[in-house]
Amino acid sequence: MAQTVRLDLHMHTTVSDGTDTPEQLPEKVRKAGLRLFSVTDHDAVKACRILRDTLTEADPAFITGVEFSCRDEEGKYHILGYGYDPETEAVQRVVRTGHGFRMKKVRARLDFLKTEFGFTFPEEDLAELFEQDNPGKPHIGNLMVKYGYAPTKEKAITEYINKVRFRSEYVRPEEAIRGILGSGGIPVLAHPAFGSGDELIVGEEMDARLKRLTAMGLQGVEAFYSGFTPKLIRQMLEYADACGLYVTAGSDYHGTNKLIPLGDTGVDGTMDWPEGLHRFVEEIQGRTIYGGKI
C-alpha cells in the first residue's frame, strides 16, 4: 500500500553543526509537511532532551536520534541511533567519548592553522567557539571567512582544515553500536555508500562492511538519503533485504550550513515503501514517541 506519511530521520541543530535551534526546528518540520522526524546531532543528545520536554500533540511525531562519528582499522562510519533513552549511561558514555575527541580536534585544528598558515583569531571569537555544544569544522570555517582567510566556509574546510587528519581520534563503531543498544535504541549505518571524502563504497566492500557491522549489532541502513542516486538507493535496499536490516530515510539537513532542504530523502508520499522501512516504523511505534501521532 502506498504511504502518505512524510518523514525525515536525519537532521542537525545548533547543538552540533546545524543552524536551527532545537526550539526552531519543529515549526520548520511542520511547514515542510513532515509527520515524523528525528534529530541526529553529532555525538550529542541535548537537542533530543529539549524536544522531548517541549513538544506537544500539535507537533509532528518525534523519535530520539543521534549520529556518532566512528572509525576503526577498516574505515570511517557514521552510526545513527534511534528510539533510545537519552538518560541512560550507555549512550551518555559514548557521547562523552565523542565530545572529548571533538574538542581535542578543534584545538588541534586551530593550532595547525596558526602554525601552517599563520591564521589567528581574537580571544573573544575563540571563547564563543568553545562555548558551542559541539564545535567542528563548519564553525572554524565560518571564522576563517569572517576574517578573510577563505572566501567560503566550504573552501576553508577543503583547502585548509581537512589537511590535518586524526585517524585514531574517533569512537569505534562497536562502541557506538553497543551504547545505542544498551540504551534501548536501534543502530543504523548512515549514508552507507559514502565513506571518507569522495569515497564510494559498493560491491564486495559494502558486503564486507555490513557483515562486520551486523556482527557488532547493527540493525539498519539509511538506504534513502539526499545525496543518493536512484541506483544507489536500489543497491542499498538490496543490501538491506539480503541482510534483513531495517531501512531509514534522511536528508542530513543542516539549515543554512548545507544546501539540503528538509524532507529531501528520496521518499515521497505516493511511493510504496520497501519492507525494511515498514518494519522500522512499526518497530518505533512500540517505543516512546514525542509530539503528535504518526
pLDDT digits (tens, 9 = 90+) for 58-107: 999 999 999 999 999 888 899 999 999 999 999 999 999 998 988 888 99
Bridge partners of 67, per DSSP, are 42, 80
Which pLDDT score is estimated for 167? Answer: 64
| Closest listed residue to residue 202, CA positions, set 190, 212, 192, 216 | 192
CA angle 80/89/9 to nearest 5° reads: 20
pTM: 0.90
Long-range contacts of 108-111 (CB under 8 A, 24+ apart): 108/164, 108/166, 109/137, 109/140, 109/161, 109/164, 110/140
Task: Assess contact for 66 and 48: CB atoms under 8 A.
Answer: yes
* 222, part of any domain: yes
For β-strands 61-72 and 75-82, DSSP reports them as antiparallel
pLDDT digits (tens, 9 = 90+) for 193-209: 997 667 899 999 999 99
Q: How many domains does the chain have?
A: 2
Give kind and range of the element (H or E) at residue 69: strand 61-72
For residue 119, what is the domain's CATH number?
1.10.150
* 18, part of any domain: yes
Same domain, 136 and 186: no
For residue 220, what is the domain's CATH number?
3.20.20.140
Bridge partners of 72, per DSSP, are 75
